[in-house]
Each structure stands twice: as structure tokens, then as C-alpha cells.
């Protein structure tokens, strides 16, 4: 079974430029998560999808961040424009359901550096 | 709201020695508790989880954790570590059926020969 796939693995951009990250979850997983992980910190939830619906985006900075999961499968997270403070690892995870203690499976992450 | 505190940011340990990673949480409701491991340049991988029942939970790679409700703790242990256990370990809590995961800041374990 393939795991959660993320691309690109690394991205270096200049501030004020746009950037997009892509995630393909494990087949059959209805729930998809995007997390932000700063250096030396644990992951912080940005947005959670149940199928194609964003059910928790309270921590997503909506002035510059956007996300979509149009067909309830893969997802894209976008930042426009990027700021220096956005440098971090962006993790995608999926699970069968957001209910209960269903295990989250994490992708390897995209490491973003904003210069 | 819930919170998670990992009491040690870094734990150095010699190979074949035991290790304990401490995790305390706060929540006004019952919780699910988890430990994840993150190897360099990889995503997080589940080690074990506590849902209910026996307070001693066994996970992969020889790890185990004990849930202590009165002390609101969920400490992770391994009786004998290997070099390959060098990684970052995260404690996480999920407060209700549809709640979100709250992760601790992580504990870096460095195993030396």
C-alpha cells in the first residue's frame, strides 16, 4: 500500500512569491490534514478535510493561505504571497476518518525556505 | 481545550540503556493519547496509542507507555535502546470523538554507543 505522497520535498522561494504544495493521501482515506511544523516544534493543524469539505480551518491564515480538495482525494495548499516566517515543514496526513482514534498516516513533508 | 507538555526537549542515552520520555496533558474531557516518532527528513509514524482499558500500552519497536489518569501523564519507555532509536518523539492528545490532534513540542532522543 502506497503511503501519503507529497511534492515537492523541498522548495526555496523569495518572499512575496507564491508557492503550492501537493498531497495525495492513502487510497480510501476520507480525512486529510495539513500541518505546519516549525523547527523544534510539534505539528500544528492548519486545515482538516472530511472528503471534500473543510471541517476545521480555524488555524489557517486565510489572508495568504488557501487549500482545496476538489474531488475529495488529493489536495493542494497554497501560500500567496509567502513571507519569511512561512519557512517551515508542511506535513500532509490522512486517516480513514476524523472520528475517534483513527491513526493518522503522515507524508514526508515539504520543507519550505523563504528568502 | 487540551494541551500537551513534553518535559524534556532532549534526552541523551547510551546504547542498550533504558529511556523514559515524559508527557503530561491537560483536558477537561476524556482523551485519546498517542506517541509518534519522526526520523530525520521523514513524516511522523505512530508508535502506540491509548484509547481505554489497560493503562499499559505496548507499541512497535519495543516501546511501551503507561497512562496515569490521576497524574494526567502518558510517559513512554523502552528498556534497551538502539542507535536506530535516535529520532524525535512526539506525544499527542485528542480530546473527543471529532476533536483535533494536539501535539507536544517533541523530545529529541540521541543514542550514542
Whether B74 contacts B84, CB under 8 Å: no
Is residue A103 domain-resident? Answer: no
Compute the nearest-CA separation of A61 from chain B (Å).
17
Task: Show the domain range for B64.
Answer: 3-112
Q: CATH code at B15?
A: 2.60.40.10
Chain B contact set for A109 (CB, 8 A): 41-43
E strand spans, chain A: 5-7, 10-13, 19-24, 31-37, 44-50, 53-56, 65-68, 75-79, 88-95, 105-106, 110-114
Is residue A66 domain-resident? Answer: yes
Chain A touched by B92 (CB under 8 Å):
yes
**In the predicted structure, residue B75 carries a pLDDT above the cut 90:** yes
C-alpha B62/C-alpha B81 separation (Å) is: 9
Q: CATH code at A80?
A: 2.60.40.10
pLDDT of residue B95: 79
Is residue A112 domain-resident? Answer: no
Task: Show the domain range for A64.
Answer: 5-98
**In the predicted structure, residue B66 carries a pLDDT above the cut 90:** yes
C-alpha B100/C-alpha A47 separation (Å) is: 10
pLDDT of residue A1: 64
Chain A contact set for B98 (CB, 8 A): 98-99
Is residue A109 domain-resident? Answer: no
Compute the nearest-CA separation of B47 from chain A (Å).
10
pLDDT of residue B30: 81
Nearest to B113 by CA among B20, B13, B38, B18: B13
- Sign of CA pseudo-dihedral A37, A92, B96, B109: negative
Instruction: Count other C-beta atoms under 10 Å from residue B34's C-beta.
Output: 28
pLDDT of residue B40: 87
Chain A contact set for B67 (CB, 8 A): none
Is residue A14 domain-resident? Answer: yes
Specify the higher pLDDT residue, A2 or A66: A66
pLDDT of residue A71: 87
Is residue A35 domain-resident? Answer: yes
What tens digit of pLDDT does each residue of B86-103 get? 999 999 998 776 677 899
Chain A contact set for B46 (CB, 8 A): 103-104
User: Which of the residues A42, A89, A104 would you substitute to probe the B interface, choosing the one with the greatest number of B C-beta atoms within 10 Å?
Assistant: A42
CA angle B82, B84, B90 (to 5 degrees): 100
Quote the number of domains for chain B: 1
Chain A touched by B106 (CB under 8 Å):
yes
What tens digit of pLDDT does each residue of A20-49 get? 999 999 999 999 999 999 988 999 999 999
pLDDT of residue A26: 95
C-alpha B68/C-alpha B76 separation (Å) is: 12
Quote the number of domains for chain A: 1
Amino acid at each position: 500500500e502506497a503511503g501519503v505522497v507529497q511534492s515537492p520535498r523541498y522548495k526555496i522561494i523569495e518572499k512575496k512569491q507564491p508557492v503550492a504544495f501537493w498531497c495525495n493521501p492513502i487510497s480510501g482515506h476520507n480525512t486529510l490534514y495539513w500541518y505546519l511544523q516549525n523547527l523544534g516544534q510539534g505539528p500544528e493543524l492548519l486545515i482538516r478535510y472530511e472528503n471534500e469539505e473543510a471541517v476545521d480551518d480555524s488555524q489557517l491564515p486565510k489572508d495568504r493561505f488557501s487549500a482545496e480538495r476538489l474531488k475529495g482525494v488529493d489536495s493542494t495548499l497554497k501560500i500567496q504571497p509567502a513571507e519569511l516566517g512561512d519557512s517551515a515543514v508542511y506535513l500532509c496526513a490522512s486517516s480513514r476518518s476524523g472520528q475517534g482514534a483513527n491513526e493518522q498516516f503522515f507524508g514526508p513533508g515539504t520543507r519550505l525556505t523563504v528568502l | 481545550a487540551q494541551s500537551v507538555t513534553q518535559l524534556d526537549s532532549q534526552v541523551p542515552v547510551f546504547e542498550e540503556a533504558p529511556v523514559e520520555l515524559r508527557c503530561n496533558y491537560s483536558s477537561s474531557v476524556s482523551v485519546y493519547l498517542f506517541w509518534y516518532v519522526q526520523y530525520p527528513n521523514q513524516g511522523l509514524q505512530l508508535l502506540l496509542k491509548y484509547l481505554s482499558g489497560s493503562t499499559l500500552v505496548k507499541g512497535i519497536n519495543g516501546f511501551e507507555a503507561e497512562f496515569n489518569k490521576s497524574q494526567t501523564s502518558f510517559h513512554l519507555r523502552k528498556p534497551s535502546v538502539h542507535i536506530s532509536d535516535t529520532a524525535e518523539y512526539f506525544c499527542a492528545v485528542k480530546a473527543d470523538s471529532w476533536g483535533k490532534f494536539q501535539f507536544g513540542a517533541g523530545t529529541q532522543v540521541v543514542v550514542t554507543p
